[in-house]
Amino acid sequence: MPITSTSASRLPSPDDSQARLQQLVQRQRAFFASGKTLDPAFRKAQLRLLQQAIRRNEQALFDAMYADFRKPAFETFATEVGFVELELKLTLNKLEDWVKPKKVKETILNFPSRSYVHTTPYGLTLIIGPWNYPFNLLVAPLVGALAAGNCVLLKPSEIAPHTSAAITKLIRETFDEAYVAVVEGGVEVTQQLLAQRYDYIFFTGSSRVGQAVMKAAAEHLTPVTLELGGKSPAMVAEDADLELAARRIAWGKFLNAGQTCVAPDYVLVQEQVKDDLVQLLAKCIREFYGGDPRQSPDFARIINDRHFRRLEAYLQNGTIRAGGQTDSASRYIAPTLLDQVTWEDPVMQEEIFGPILPILTYRSLDEAMQVVNAHEKPLALYFFSSSENKKEAVLRCVQFGGGCINDTVSHLANPNLPFGGVGGSGMGSYHGKSSFDVFSHQKSVLHRGTWLDLPVRYPPYRDRLRTLRRLFRWL
């Protein structure tokens, strides 16, 4: 029986839920111990089943995300369904190469011998997804986990309930829950899940919850990947193509109504071109969404009332240069530009995660880099300039997870680029082969020949130290 199902007469008690989770974990451990997932042919067959299931359920996923936060079908395909399909295509094409043991250069100290790195699955993995890209950020890691040969427990976000239900239906119709299972529920269910022991945990979400996940993992010394967030800057130099910068910043910021972990959280623009950039950003908003973005079919809504109220309060900061309109009934917040903002304002104290873009200025590039480095390392950074020297300076001197030069967000579209944070924005990376790697243990194995066994390493050592020292220095 599915672990989240309930009878009409009685809801399960916390003890019942905990017992069912324990049974599910035991079933998955038994499935992994059977060795079925070790066969690359089995893994590819399961990935093809997932690929087919996604295509069958595409419209259901579109409908679910529209119901959760009026996400346009174009954005749902580009950033969710199509994105995962690209991950699947790459993985299916490359998996046989990825799983092969990799021979590495040998040292004469081990002569005669051969050394290899074998990739082996961890075992039972837990993947906890967020609400803002509720399909992509749960299922893209699943692709890597299955490719690596693991069994998987999935926890979709309850904050996007329609998408959670659609994912649950898709997974349960496709996989044996002893192999891949979905557990729905709120905070209490997540806590119950984290009380179990896993071989790997992959979490995407807020830094606050990420800390709780890491604490729970530490109880069992379980390795983790944390995909978090932070205040990702869009830095604009005076020599940038301002029209292009405005268009690409506005696109990256207001995609999914700003509810994107790598959206430009604020603009840091050289002061002499600030007013020009603000005017161009306002122009782009009109071009993208019309004079009243509330009527645009291409602009999403805020996920729930709590987030709406949080974002609406930020509109009291600074001076509104464009937008600022709200509607609580539909959870609408217009694409908004905030001028005259300081780092002491609430809007600059945490990741915004909404369609509000503060504009700050800097005088010199050194000052701008110091400002960014003075705060938590961002998940993404975007720098707009025509100067190769400035680009190199930013890449060399500023720490961030990943990013773009003269664009925003688009680095995620390349599955050959590892994606992940650093410091407060996360640890570990995935996408493409990096997803396979993150869910694989790198097992180092030495194959030693038996036809020669030099006695130099065996006691008694006598006067061999001088010879050994010379050998090491020669190597």
Catalytic annotation, pick one of 227, 284, 351, 404 = 227
Give the contacts of 15 (CB within 8 A, at least 6 positions apart): none
The answer to whether 268 and 372 are in contact (CB under 8 A) is: yes
Give the contacts of 28 (CB within 8 A, at least 6 positions apart): 124, 151, 153, 178, 179, 181
Catalytic annotation, pick one of 80, 87, 261, 351 = 261
Give the contacts of 362 (CB within 8 A, at least 6 positions apart): 268, 269, 270, 271, 368, 371
> From CA 337, how far away is CA 279, in angstroms rounded?
10
Please give the order of strands across the beta sheet that includes 233-236: 319-322, 336-339, 356-362, 266-270, 233-236, 380-384, 402-405
The answer to whether 32 and 123 are in contact (CB under 8 A) is: yes
Tokens 């011998």 locate to 113
State the pairing for strand pair 124-128/200-204. Answer: parallel
As to burial, measured by CB atoms within 10 angstroms (0-12 exposed, 13-18 middle, 19+ buried), residue 253 is buried
> From CA 200, how far away is CA 437, in angstroms rounded?
12
DSSP state of 110: G
DSSP state of 416: T
> From CA 373, how far away is CA 43, in angstroms rounded?
43
Look at residues 266, 285, 253, 264 and name the one whose alpha carbon lies nearest to residue 338.
266
> From CA 38, how far away is CA 314, in angstroms rounded?
51
> From CA 15, how far away is CA 93, in angstroms rounded?
44
Look at residues 353, 352, 357 and name the one whose alpha carbon lies nearest to residue 260.
353
Kindly state the tokens that stand for 288: 């993208």
Q: Quick check: is 261 catalytic?
A: yes
> From CA 114, how far away is CA 321, in angstroms rounded?
66
* Measured distance between the N- and C-terminal CA atoms of the chain, rounded to whole angstroms: 62
Torsion of CA 127, 131, 134, 137, to 10 degrees: -50
Torsion of CA 276, 282, 284, 285, to 10 degrees: 170
Whole-number CA gyration radius for the chain: 26
Check the CA dihedral 110-116-117-119 and report its sign. Answer: negative
Q: Quick check: is 271 catalytic?
A: no
Q: List active site positions.
A: 227, 261
